[in-house]
Each structure stands twice: as C-alpha cells, then as structure tokens.
A and B are shown apart, each in its own frame.
Chain A
C-alpha cells in the first residue's frame, strides 16, 4: 500500500492525466486522492468480492455494491433500466437496417453476427442516457428522444461492431463474447467486406440524419479508430514515450467513439458549445476509464467471465497500462515489451511480474481518476434520474467484471 503513495507515481499520474489534453485538470490536493486509495482495498480483492456479490448477474451490474467511499446514495439507479425502452430493440433495429441494404444472405449473416444481444451495449446506452439527461437539462422537463437521437445511439453500436469484426481478422482471435469469432467461421475476405458493409450502412444512416456537423463529428471517429490500430503496431523506446503512446492509442481506439457520439447526441439535443464540450469530455473520460479497466481485467478476470481468453493482450504482444506501470518496479519488463513478449515464457513471466507489482492498483487508480472527472462533469448537468444515471455509469465502468 505504502508504495502507492510514492511521490514519483503521483507526479507521473498527474502528468498522465494532463496528456489527455484536458485543460481542466483538477487542483484538488493529491492527498485527498491518496486517502481514497488507502481506503480502497486492493483492487484484486475488490474485484473478487465484486465477483462474489454479483455472481450470475450479467447486465445488472449496478446491483454490485459500490466500493467507493461515500458512494452516491443513488447507487441503486440502473442506467440500463432507465433507457431500456429504446435500448432493448437496438439489435433488432440494426438487423433490420442491414437486411434492408442487402439481398445477399451470406453478407447479411456475417454482418449481423455480433448483433445478437449478448454485448454490453455500453455505447448506445450512454448515448441514450446522455440524450435524455440533456433534453431534461435544456427543456427543464422530461422530453422524449427524437428519432435522430435514437439513430445515433444505434449507429454507435454498428460502428463499434464493424471495428470488432475487423479487429478479429487483424488479431486472428478465436473467441468473442463466448462464441467463435467471425474470422473463424467465414472466409476472411468476406469478413473484411462485411465490416465495410456495416460501415457503409452506418454512413448512409449518418447522412440521413442530415446534420453537417454531426456527420463531420462522427467521421472523425473512423479516422481515430484506424490510427489507433496503426499505433498498436508500433511501440516506443522509452518509458515516458510509451505511456503517452499508450494513452493516445487508448483515446483513439476506444474513447474517441464514445466522446464523439456523445458530442453528436448533444448537438442533436440543441446544446450550446459549452454543453457540447462537456458531453465530449464526459465521454472521453468514461471511455478512457472503460479501456483502462478492460486492460486490467485482462489480467484478473477469468476467461469465462470475459468470453475471450485471459492475458490476450500479452499474447498479442501488447503492453497495456498494468505492464507499463509494473515496469517501474521490474525494469526487466522493458526488454520483453520491446520484443513484444515473443520469447517462450515471456507471457507467463510478465503476467507474474504484473501481479507482483502495483501495476493493477495503479491502473485502477488512473481509471478512477477519469471516472471522478466524468462525475464532476455530469454533476454540472441539471438533476434528473438520467443525470444520476450518468453518475452511476462511472461506478459500473470501474467495478465491472466483464
């Protein structure tokens, strides 16, 4: 525990949060954060206790008792429940759209494979929740979502799935969401084309929203996704460069989609510039936290909970936050990072060192920082059940098991 308080780490993390191009890094004394950390039980045991508490529940993660000191009294609010009316049909709506755009059965079959209702649906849920919250904020009462707002939520899931399909081919993955990956089942060329097809349909739907700024905003997401993927191919020499590289990559691969889709939702809600920026930053912080936790879970969760093999990142040669943090204590990891864990025993060794180091706790700490920032932003939105939902989501993101 004590080593967490190391000045060096604090300075580092402080710096890291600035890398996230956030102009409004909070000035709260770092002692506050440290205190929270001390109050916070070790992440691994926290995750274990959460696993025990939530055994069997998949989507209703909000039922998990929040681990945060002074956690919100509203923790029983279930963000998924709040938007259930619009969310429950997202998959069917996507399938319907895909079907409408092709007469080729095989293309349709591959394209709709991941729209099976088994995903977390985090992105559309956030879109719907934020739209409701902003409608309330702007109109001072509960205003039903417009069709366009609902469309954007659906498109977010489509673009996300299209990127999953291409990722599967790129990473040659075997399993996703507890079933064989697309690339295992079908011709790779056809799988790549199906991903393009989903993107094309998504672009058509975006164009039909008929809002120039929304189209521009959502177009940026694709560029970020590809650039993030390119960044993943390379690695940097020095520790500092590596962390910056990792964070930028994380923004582009995960946070950009959430941030920009929420920004688009805010534009459709009629938000002014300040509110649009707030939506973007909220999404960016939740997205970064989400990915950090994802990278952490790769080390602690069982493969059955994840629906994909554990330590998958290491096997792919990727050094994520836990490893980068662990480097501080075990410099021998540097060599392994540079050779992308390719030598026999590297993956196991790195896995062990990460667990022996404080890497997991430090990753959790960084994720928490982003969640707190997201909460701070959400608190500036007018109070409503949806706004509370936005606050609760950050807890879900932090304490999720899969």
Chain B
C-alpha cells in the first residue's frame, strides 16, 4: 500500500521533476552513468513497451522460480524506516537531488536489470538443483532453498544500496547557492546515505541469519568490490568516470576492470554463493562465479551499446557513460576523440554528447562492443552447457539470447 502511495506521488510529480530538471541544467543531478540504462527502462514503460522477446524471457523465467522477483523489494518497502523515507522523499520533490531519480527507477521496477539480478540467482539455483535433504528448508513449489532466496534478495539489496550511495551529490563550494538549494542537497544526501545504510545493515542481518560464514564473507567482499569501483580511474567533480588517455591502457582492460568491480563480481559471487548453499562443491561453485561474472559483463556491454544503436530510444544529446565500451574502443581507434572528452574532465555534462554520439556511431566501437558482448555471453553459455537440461536452464539461456537481440 505504501509503495503504491509513493509510486502515485512520484508519478504525479514525475513530469514536474523532469521539467524542473531540464530547466535547471545544473547538471548535478543527471543520471549516474551506469544506471542510465536502468532509468531509461523505467521511463520507456510509458513511452512504449520494451522489446517483446526480453519481456517474454523474463516473465517466463519469473514463473519458474515462484513469483516475480521484483516483489523481493516489497518487504523492505513496507517497513517503518522506509515509511519515514517516503515522507522525507516528499520534501525533496521539486528539488533536483538525484535520489529522486534513483527512487523512481527502483519503484517503477520496469524490466530494468535491477530485479533481474535476483532472478538470475534464483534461476541458477534451480538449474543446478541442491543436495539438501531437509524439507523444511526448501521452497518446494519453486525448487530453491529458502536460503537461496535470501541470497537473491541480498544481491538486490546490495546493488540497490550501492546505487543509492552512488547517487549522493558531492557538495563542494560553489556547487549550489546557499539557502534552500543547499539545504535540499544536504537533506537529500542525508536520506540517500541513510537509505543505503539501511539496506546494507539489512543485508548483514539476513546474511547472518543464514548461519553460513563462508557466504557472509563472500558477500561482504562483494560489497567491498563495489566500493572500490568508485575509485577506479579519472573522475569528474561528481565522481562520474572519465576515460584514461588511450595511450595509458587498453580499452578492454579498462572496461573490464570497471565493469567487474561495479557489478560483475557481485553477480558472480552471488551465483557462486547460491551454489555453495545448494551443497555443491567448491569447484562447481566456481563455475557459478564465472557464469555470473560473464553474464553481468555481457549485460553491461548491452547497456553500453544502447545510445549508439540506430533507432535507439536514447534521445540525441543526452548524457551517456563516457567509459562505455563503444567510446573506449573508439578512443583506441582514433585518439583525437579524447579532446572532446577532456572537456568533461571537471563535469561530464560539459561534453558535447550529440557530437560524440555521432562520431562513435560511425566508427568501429559499436561492432567491437557487440563482439565483446558476444564473447561474454558465449562464456556464460558454456558454463550452462555443463548443467542438466531443465526449465530453469532453458530460461537462463533464453535470457542470454534475448539480451543479444536487445
């Protein structure tokens, strides 16, 4: 009930926020780059339906493991603390703090990648089966263990918490005027920080309840990896990533490092963890890690391609990630693009996105990214091949295939 209220509130105010944000092109609050895809997903729900194959693959997969995994979020939405957050969020409506955007992206729960991550973990759990003999610990209908469902939930909470913390504004002198605008920013940061902490603390409690220290350590290290990802490479004042000069490192290495830390390891470790919970050997669980990591990287490549695809829903001139694979590949092919990118060294929103978009679209970056995606998708598929044939395995390969067609 609460979430629907919040949803309605945000829905009503949505256009208003959008307008006020374009009006003030302060640039502070434009999407944090890696989630651009996710938020666009939320918006596109209204514009037009996402590609049917994808929707089909995901909704069929959801049936296999019981219920839509987007419900996983409901539990924390209904708690007291979040009721408080909802009240406080209301105060922020009209300000341009990025937390609102993050919240909207979460609540609309369109077919964005957030919910799908928990789903992947559950599907893999079911595809691999488990060696548990205690019936009390199994969710019979779904064919997964309760502990595995918890882990899927923890995966989503860790990811959400990271996104929320990433949405903090770096308030430096001269960013906004003293007074109302500054108060909004400060208050938004406070709520963002606390909401993220709330999710993280819940993760700790849920992990502790599993009474499995190996899993607790594994997932804690995934949180550590995510925090490290925010320190890789050059950054603008809002900590948005800016690519290194192409002479300094290879684009694939740079992209892989960033993408692994910012998601690949989390999904990998969750997949590894769920297999361990299912009683599988360490060696076999390592395969799970590979599967999750490569799937996440393929996914990232997919999201990175979006702005450069012909007929993409990405409107010309709006921001995209400057460290997305097509841009990095293009930089290697033609380093003169770096001059255009350097304009955004202090604020990534200063660069001419329309121009970069058109240059990159004409270059080899897109094709190379496609190949990159294919490589990772292939590696994920190879892991699946070792699994016995079952509906969950089919659902996973459907998702990978559908991703190729996005």
Interface residues of chain A, those whose CB is within 8 Å of chain B, are 101-102, 104, 106-107, 166, 169-170, 172, 187-190, 192-194, 196-197, 199-201, 203-204, 206-212, 215-216, 218-220, 222-223, 225-227, 229-230, 233-234
Interface SS of chain A: helix
Give the chain A neighbours of B186 by CB distance below 8 A.
172
Q: Give the complex CA separation of A367 and B324 in angstroms.
A: 57
Take A192-B193, A199-B223, A215-B208 as given contacts and tell me if A204 and B217 are in contact as well, using a CB distance cutoff of 8 Å: yes
Q: Is the CB of B193 within 8 A of A189?
A: no
> Which of A172, A188, A211, A227 contacts B170 (CB under 8 A)?
A188
Across the two chains, which residue of chain B brings its CB closest to A166?
B193
Give the chain A neighbours of B207 by CB distance below 8 A.
203, 215, 219
B194 interface residue per 8 A CB criterion: yes
Give the chain B neighbours of A234 by CB distance below 8 A.
84
- Which of B123-131, B195-203, B390-398 is found at the contact surface with chain A? B195-203
Q: Give the complex CA separation of A188 and B170 in angstroms.
A: 5
Interface SS of chain B: helix
Q: Is the CB of B231 within 8 A of A203?
A: no
> Which of A172, A196, A223 contacts B227 (CB under 8 A)?
A196
Take A196-B165, A207-B220, A219-B204 as given contacts and tell me if A189 and B84 are in contact as well, using a CB distance cutoff of 8 Å: no
Give the chain A neighbours of B211 by CB distance below 8 A.
212, 215-216
Give the chain B neighbours of A192 by CB distance below 8 A.
165, 168, 193, 196
Q: Give the complex CA separation of A223 and B213 in angstroms.
A: 19
Q: Is the CB of B205 within 8 A of A219?
A: yes
> Which of B189, B214, B235 contacts A170 (CB under 8 A)?
B189
Take A102-B228, A106-B231, A170-B189 as given contacts and tell me if A226 and B216 are in contact as well, using a CB distance cutoff of 8 Å: no
**Shortest distance from the beta carbon of B184 to any chain A beta carbon, whole Å:** 13
Q: Is the CB of A193 within 8 A of B221?
A: no
Q: Is the CB of A206 within 8 A of B216?
A: yes
B224 interface residue per 8 A CB criterion: yes
Across the two chains, which residue of chain B brings its CB closest to A208?
B217
**Shortest distance from the beta carbon of A197 to any chain B beta carbon, whole Å:** 4
B169 interface residue per 8 A CB criterion: yes
B359 interface residue per 8 A CB criterion: no
Chain B, residues 220-236, CB within 8 Å of chain A (1/0): the string is 11011011101110010
Q: Give the complex CA separation of A251 and B220 in angstroms.
A: 26
Q: Is the CB of A204 within 8 A of B221?
A: yes
Q: Give the complex CA separation of A204 and B208 in angstroms.
A: 12
Give the chain A neighbours of B171 by CB distance below 8 A.
172, 188
Across the two chains, which residue of chain A brings its CB closest to B198?
A226
**Shortest distance from the beta carbon of A136 to any chain B beta carbon, whole Å:** 29
Q: Is the CB of B231 within 8 A of A107?
A: yes
B166 interface residue per 8 A CB criterion: yes
> Which of B205, B208, B239 contacts A187 (CB under 8 A)?
B239
Q: Is the CB of A230 within 8 A of B198?
A: yes
Give the chain A neighbours of B208 by CB distance below 8 A.
212, 215-216, 218-219
Q: Is the CB of A169 within 8 A of B221?
A: no
Q: Is the CB of B189 within 8 A of A169?
A: yes
B137 interface residue per 8 A CB criterion: no
Q: Is the CB of A220 within 8 A of B205?
A: yes
Number of chain B interface residues as a range: 35 or more
Q: Is the CB of B231 within 8 A of A170?
A: no
Q: Is the CB of B239 within 8 A of A189?
A: yes
Q: Give the complex CA separation of A211 and B200 in angstroms.
A: 21
Q: Is the CB of A207 within 8 A of B224?
A: no
Most chain A beta-carbon contacts within 10 A, residue among B197, B202, B207, B224:
B197
B155 interface residue per 8 A CB criterion: no
**Shortest distance from the beta carbon of B256 to any chain A beta carbon, whole Å:** 16
- Give 3 closest A-B pairs by Cβ, nearest first: A203-B220, A222-B201, A207-B217
Q: Is the CB of B223 within 8 A of A190?
A: no
Q: Is the CB of A212 within 8 A of B239?
A: no
Give the chain A neighbours of B88 by CB distance below 8 A.
233
Take A189-B238, A203-B216 as given contacts and tell me if A216 and B209 are in contact as well, using a CB distance cutoff of 8 Å: yes
Q: Give the complex CA separation of A225 and B213 in angstroms.
A: 22
Give the chain B neighbours of A209 by CB distance below 8 A.
213
B81 interface residue per 8 A CB criterion: yes
> Which of B200, B202, B209, B214 contacts A196 (CB under 8 A)?
B200
Across the two chains, which residue of chain A brings its CB closest to B238?
A189
B190 interface residue per 8 A CB criterion: yes
Q: Is the CB of B231 within 8 A of A222?
A: no
- Give 17 pairs: A residue, B residue, CB < 8 Å, sorted on A: A102-B228, A104-B228, A106-B231, A169-B168, A169-B190, A189-B170, A189-B238, A193-B227, A196-B200, A197-B224, A197-B228, A200-B223, A203-B207, A212-B211, A216-B208, A222-B201, A225-B197
Across the two chains, which residue of chain A brings its CB closest to B235?
A187
**Shortest distance from the beta carbon of A326 to any chain B beta carbon, whole Å:** 27
Apart from the given pairs A188-B168, A234-B84, 10 other A-B contacts in the complex at a CB distance below 8 Å: A196-B161, A196-B200, A196-B223, A197-B228, A200-B221, A204-B224, A216-B211, A219-B204, A220-B205, A222-B205
Give the chain B neighbours of A201 by CB distance below 8 A.
220, 224
Q: Is the CB of B84 within 8 A of A233?
A: yes
Take A170-B190, A206-B216, A226-B201 as given contacts and tell me if A193 and B223 are in contact as well, using a CB distance cutoff of 8 Å: no
Q: Give the complex CA separation of A193 and B194 in angstroms.
A: 13
> Which of A187, A203, A210 contacts B223 (CB under 8 A)?
A203
Chain B contacts with A in 210-267, Cβ cutoff 8 A: 211, 213-214, 216-217, 220-221, 223-224, 226-228, 230-232, 235, 237-239
Give the chain A neighbours of B227 by CB distance below 8 A.
107, 193-194, 196-197, 200
Most chain B beta-carbon contacts within 10 A, residue among A204, A207, A208, A233:
A207
Give the chain B neighbours of A233 by CB distance below 8 A.
84, 88, 190, 194
Q: Is the CB of B216 within 8 A of A107?
A: no
Chain B contacts with A in 40-86, Cβ cutoff 8 A: 81, 84
Q: Is the CB of B239 within 8 A of A230?
A: no
Take A215-B216, A219-B207 as given contacts and tell me if A190 and B231 are in contact as well, using a CB distance cutoff of 8 Å: yes
Give the chain B neighbours of A229 by CB distance below 8 A.
194, 197
